[in-house]
Amino acid sequence: MTRVFSGIQPSGDLHLGNYLGAIQNWVELTDRYECIYSIVDLHAITVPYSPAALEQRVFDMAVGLLAAGLDPERCTLFVQSAVPEHAQLEWLLNTVTPLGELSRMTQFKDKSERAEMVSAGLLNYPILQAADILLYHAELVPVGDDQLQHLEFTREIARKWNARFGDYFPEPQPMIGGGKRIRGLDGVSKMSKSRDNTIPMLGEPEDTWAAVRTAVTDPARVRKNDPGNPHVCNVFAMHEFFTDPEEREEIEVRCQTATIGCVECKRMLAEGISDRLAPIRERARDLRANPDRVNAILADGAARARQIARVTLGEVYDRMGLDYSAHD
Ligand code: TYM
């Protein structure tokens, strides 16, 4: 069966960008593929973070993913740092990676501009991502469009390594699927924790409303009586996911004719989000009350992932002229 791999950073609360852009798709793919999903804590430590909070964030992410519908019977879910082969393969891939390409990565440029100190880890981030994927010979990688450059880079590393040490790694393909870019509350940039423009996935109705209330709508619509343009409005764009088509058409016309105000439109959206995500919130509550169950799922996932990872690393050692026997 075709293998799928994807990762998500445990960097704060899950938001609708993660949910609509990635997680929903992850859940659907488990019907059709062998899916391996990782909470990538080693990636999360490439920017300033609190060691005391990291463990809780990893746990919260596991709760969110399971609550959103990932079934541990139908996929492998694990924490990246529990499988040391990720970091080991990353080192080996370092040796075939041209420095110039790394420093041209958009995400690196973006993050390093905002950072006080730019670590080598931040620069090497895409190599670790390539290791994540190649370790499992994954052929498909579901991601949002912000990760396409990293995927292209992964294919390039696979080609370079194969050219040097023999054909071994398949070139993984991205799957954008549902993963279109979800814009944040500012209505412009990608919804992202680091930009503080998110709508939480597990928020109670009042938290959802508190976030949605502040969303930027059509900037040209200053007064309630001004007609709006729903096609430039991010609140309208979000209705696509949470409001049925007929109601959406009505909102579209009412916005264009100034017979609905932005506040009412936002109220409808916030209610739609809260209703749709109510079962997920409920499951998250149950899981939080059962940390042993969550930890057992992650431990089992790590053991399964590791079985595959060790075989790959052994074969890579072999092809690179290194002795793997001490690891057996
Ligand atoms: P991360 O943790 O930033 O995001 C996880 C997934 O969510 C998608 N996503 C979005 N999609 C649409 N709109 C948004 N606003 C939005 N915000 C996040 C991301 O595209 C991603 O699919 N480098 C990766 C993690 C990673 C990885 C991997 C992914 C590490 N190793 C191997 C795939 C394969 C990242 O930072 O994702």
Give 212-277 as a DSSP string: HHT----TT--STTS---GGG-HHHHHHHHHS-HHHHHHHHHHHHTT-S-HHHHHHHHHHHHHHHH
User: What's the Cα-to-Cα distance from 225 to each of 94, 228, 253, rounded to whole Å?
Assistant: 59, 9, 14
Number of the ligand 1 atom closest to the C-alpha atom of 126:
23
Active-site residue, 180 included: no
Residue nearest to atom 35 of ligand 1 (CA): 8
**Does the beta carbon of 132 sit less than 6 angstroms from any atom of ligand 1?**
yes
Number of the ligand 1 atom closest to the C-alpha atom of 180:
12
Residue nearest to atom 1 of ligand 1 (CA): 8
Number of the ligand 1 atom closest to the C-alpha atom of 183:
15
Domains and CATH numbers, the chain: 3-182+290-327 (3.40.50.620), 203-285 (1.10.240.10)
Element (H, E) at 79: strand 76-79
Which pLDDT belongs to residue 11?
Answer: 80
CA of 326 to the centre of ligand 1 (A): 35
Neighbours of 1 (CB within 10 A): 7
Top mutation candidate among 26, 27, 122, 143 for ligand 1, by most atoms within 8 Å of CB: 143
Which pLDDT belongs to residue 178?
Answer: 63
Distance CA 140, CA 138 (A): 6
**Does the beta carbon of 301 sit less than 6 angstroms from any atom of ligand 1?**
no
Helix spans in 80-168 (H): 85-94, 99-103, 106-114, 120-134, 148-165
Number of the ligand 1 atom closest to the C-alpha atom of 125:
23
Number of the ligand 1 atom closest to the C-alpha atom of 128:
31
Top mutation candidate among 18, 41, 61, 140 for ligand 1, by most atoms within 8 Å of CB: 18
Which pLDDT belongs to residue 8?
Answer: 96
Q: What is the pTM of this model?
A: 0.94
Which pLDDT belongs to residue 222?
Answer: 80
Residue nearest to atom 20 of ligand 1 (CA): 144
Neighbours of 324 (CB within 10 A): 14
**Does the beta carbon of 211 sit less than 6 angstroms from any atom of ligand 1?**
no
Residue nearest to atom 18 of ligand 1 (CA): 18
Distance CA 22, CA 53 (A): 24
**Does the beta carbon of 21 sit less than 6 angstroms from any atom of ligand 1?**
yes
Q: Which of 160, 180, 193, 224 is catalytic?
A: 193
Neighbours of 21 (CB within 10 A): 25
Which pLDDT belongs to residue 144?
Answer: 85
Active-site residue, 111 included: yes
Active-site residue, 266 included: no
In the chain, which residues have pLDDT < 50? none
User: What's the Cα-to-Cα distance from 282 to each of 116, 140, 177, 288, rounded to whole Å?
Assistant: 40, 31, 27, 10
Neighbours of 290 (CB within 10 A): 12
- Per-residue DSSP letter, 38: E
Say which residues have a Cβ less than 8 Å from residue 23's Cβ, sequence separation at least 6: 8, 14, 64, 65, 68, 69, 70
